[in-house]
């Protein structure tokens, strides 16, 4: 499974990072290039990571979003994360996420895939609107059309 995630992250369409694009419910905005290994990329959206401890959010560290959709995001971080993590976006929105998968990029960085519920959609839309122009576009028009029909 780990090898397939790495292989999929190097696809030529820049549509998906972890699984086959046909399994995705929503189109992902990519902030990474398939032409450059993930460890050498400098493009992405900075986020802050927190864990809930009783009534407070304890700061864990920083991360860089590499892809995002209405249902979840993929980001890299140098810190180990709990199963439930809270991310704070640059626009100030905080989102409680569930860790879905992870893989090691190198000895210092880990790629995490997280998801959130439908109640977050309204909070994530302004963020997507602001950053959609900075994302890589899918090169495959058939694949882009497939996502626009849903």
111 exposed, middle or buried (CB, 10 Å; 0-12, 13-18, 19+)?
buried
> Whole-angstrom Cα distance, residue 147 to residue 2?
26
Contacts of 111 (CB under 8 A, 6+ apart): 5, 9, 17, 38, 66, 74, 75, 76, 102, 103, 104, 105
pTM greater than 0.75 = no
pLDDT of 133 strictly over 80: no
Buried b (16+ CB within 10 A) or exposed e, 49-60: bbbeeeeeeeeb
Domains of the chain, residue spans: 2-136
| Topology given in CATH for the domain delimited by 2-136 | Thrombin, subunit H (2.40.10)
pLDDT digit string (tens) for 85-98?
999 988 888 999 99
Q: How far apart are alpha carbons 73 and 126 in whole angstroms?
A: 15
- Mean pLDDT of all residues in 74-102: 92
| Alpha-carbon gap, residue 48 to 77, rounded angstroms | 10
């Amino acid at each position: 499974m780990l090898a397939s995630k790495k292989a999929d992250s190097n696809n030529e369409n820049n549509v998906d990072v972890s699984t086959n694009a046909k399994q995705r419910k929503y189109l992902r905005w990519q902030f990474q290039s398939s032409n450059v290994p993930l460890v050498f990329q400098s493009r992405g959206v900075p986020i802050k990571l927190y864990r809930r401890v009783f009534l407070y959010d304890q700061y864990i560290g920083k991360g860089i979003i590499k892809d995002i959709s209405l249902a979840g995001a993929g980001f890299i971080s140098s810190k180990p994360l709990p199963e439930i993590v809270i991310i704070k976006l640059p626009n100030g929105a905080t989102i409680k996420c569930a860790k879905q998968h992870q893989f090691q990029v190198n000895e210092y960085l880990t790629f995490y895939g997280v998801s959130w519920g439908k109640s977050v959609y309204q909070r994530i839309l302004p963020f997507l609107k602001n950053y959609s122009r900075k994302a890589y576009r899918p090169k495959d028009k058939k694949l882009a059309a497939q996502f626009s029909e849903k």
